[in-house]
């Protein structure tokens, strides 16, 4: 059984989350807390496998409670976040402090997709709760990042890097992108599953921390070397070659057949279509199998592929799908991925 503590000052949210989670026989809600002080006490006494933690609460807010939880009794924490720009900033702060992911607070406003949201929430709780807290030992920015050259099936020059990630991805991407040098000679395109209000603040935060430029991609803009483009959460991002030396970004708000937005497959398939085998595809932590089609095409066209190893994944879903299908040239822990990217160009 995955033992869950629900922390929220809203009786409606406590009831909604509890009824959603207890519908699964493998999940047990072992307690509730109405504010941060209760949360810290109950995490210590009940020792849950995972906690859902609201941000705005009386007496002690979620951020202060998270700090104390991670200090005293570390446990996987999912933040309950409003899907607004303001909510995005606070949630990104929480991820920096050790929260593993977030879930939408406005569940009542998402009733059209409530069945799908319930399935994703249960899957997320079970996968994260079973694995527990992942301790990622990252290299300092000054540490050497030169990795051994081996194992790639392709020796073609890499002209673009395509990265896909989901649950646990924001922190993983921060750990990778902040280590890329300023003079990096090719563009980087990234699809991270995120709500629309989150991708721009996330890109801005990465930009402040990184040597290269990081931005939320805009439809119609030309991609440049030494720049990382975060796909907007409102739709699917793709690239299109206009001339031999010019490739532009396109953003479509059509959901199509894809469960997640922005879709990793949509991005990677467009990249390999326009750059053929001169692509490095990277799949990081996340639920599901988004990206496996794109990685297969990259591999088939003679590109290079990397999957994050299970040891550092918050959720070993997307990389597992790639590894199990035999599509990964290399399977490496998070702290080696920046070095592999640098050495690929």
Share of the chain above pLDDT 70, in %: 90
- Sorting pLDDT into bands at 50, 70 and 90, what band is 258? low
Q: How far apart are the C-alpha atoms of 66 and 95, rounded to whole Å?
A: 10
| pLDDT over 90 at 132, yes or no | no
pTM over 0.85: yes
Q: How far apart are the C-alpha atoms of 323 and 317, rounded to whole Å?
A: 10
For helices 169-177 and 334-343, the axis angle rounded to 10 degrees is: 40
Question: What three-state secondary structure class fits 38?
Answer: helix
Q: Is 15 a catalytic residue?
A: no
Whole-number pLDDT of residue 142: 40
Q: Which of 193, 278, 309, 344 is catalytic?
A: 193
Q: Is 238 a catalytic residue?
A: no
Q: Where are the domains of the chain?
A: 2-131, 160-343
- 36 in Cβ contact with 60 (< 8 Å): yes
pLDDT in tens, 172-185: 999 999 999 999 99
| pLDDT over 50 at 140, yes or no | no
Q: Are 2-131 and 160-343 equal in CATH topology? A: yes
Query: Is CATH 3.90.228.20 the classification given to domain 160-343?
Result: no
Whole-number pLDDT of residue 148: 43
Task: Work out the burial of residue 329: count CB atoms within 10 Å of its CB; fewer than 13 is exposed, 13-18 middle, 19 or more buried.
Answer: buried
| pLDDT over 50 at 143, yes or no | no
Fold (topology level) of 2-131: Rossmann fold (3.40.50)
Q: Which of 81, 166, 309, 344 is catalytic?
A: 166
Q: How far apart are the C-alpha atoms of 110 and 189, rounded to whole Å?
A: 29
Q: How far apart are the C-alpha atoms of 279 and 257, rounded to whole Å?
A: 25
pLDDT, mean of residues 120-141: 75
Give 170-194 as a DSSP string.
HHHHHHHHTTS-TT--S-EEEEE--
Q: How far apart are the C-alpha atoms of 217 and 263, rounded to whole Å?
A: 14
Q: Is 166 a catalytic residue?
A: yes
pLDDT, mean of residues 101-117: 66
pLDDT in tens, 321-330: 999 999 999 9
- N- to C-terminal Cα separation, the chain: 46
- Sorting pLDDT into bands at 50, 70 and 90, what band is 150? very low
Q: Which of 238, 290, 309, 344 is catalytic?
A: 290
- Sorting pLDDT into bands at 50, 70 and 90, what band is 253? confident
- Sorting pLDDT into bands at 50, 70 and 90, what band is 23? very high
Q: How far apart are the C-alpha atoms of 311 and 316, rounded to whole Å?
A: 9
């Amino acid at each position: 059984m995955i033992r869950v503590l629900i922390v929220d000052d809203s009786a409606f949210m406590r009831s909604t989350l509890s009824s959603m989670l207890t519908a699964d026989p493998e999940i047990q809600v072992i307690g509730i807390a109405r504010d941060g002080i209760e949360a810290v006490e109950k995490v210590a006494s009940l020792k849950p496998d995972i906690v859902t933690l609201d941000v705005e609460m009386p007496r002690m807010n979620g951020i202060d409670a998270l700090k104390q939880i991670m200090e005293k009794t570390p446990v996987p924490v999912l933040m309950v976040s409003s899907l607004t720009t303001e909510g995005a900033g606070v949630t990104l702060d929480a991820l920096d402090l050790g929260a593993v992911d977030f879930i939408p607070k406005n569940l009542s406003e998402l009733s059209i997709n409530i069945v799908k949201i319930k399935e994703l929430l249960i899957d997320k709780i079970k996968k994260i709760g079973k694995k527990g807290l992942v301790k990622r030992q990252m290299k300092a920015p000054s540490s050497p990042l030169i990795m051994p050259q081996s194992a790639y099936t392709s020796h073609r020059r890499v002209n673009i890097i395509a990265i896909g990630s989901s649950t646990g991805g924001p922190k993983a991407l921060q750990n990778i992108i902040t280590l890329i040098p300023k003079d990096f000679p090719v563009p980087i395109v990234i699809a991270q599953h995120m709500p629309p209000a989150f991708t721009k603040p996330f890109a801005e935060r990465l930009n402040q921390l990184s040597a290269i430029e990081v931005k939320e991609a805009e439809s119609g803009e030309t991609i440049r070397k030494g720049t990382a483009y975060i796909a907007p959460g409102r739709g699917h991002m793709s690239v299109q070659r206009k001339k031999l030396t010019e490739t532009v970004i396109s953003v479509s708000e059509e959901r199509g057949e894809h469960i997640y937005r922005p879709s990793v497959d949509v991005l990677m398939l467009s990249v390999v279509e326009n750059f053929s085998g001169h692509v490095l595809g990277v799949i990081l932590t996340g639920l599901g199998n988004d990206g496996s089609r794109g990685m297969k095409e990259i591999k088939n066209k003679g590109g290079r592929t990397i999957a994050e190893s299970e040891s550092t994944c918050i959720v070993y879903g997307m990389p597992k799908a790639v590894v199990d299908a035999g599509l990964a040239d290399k399977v490496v822990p998070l702290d080696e991925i920046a070095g592999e990217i640098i050495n690929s160009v």
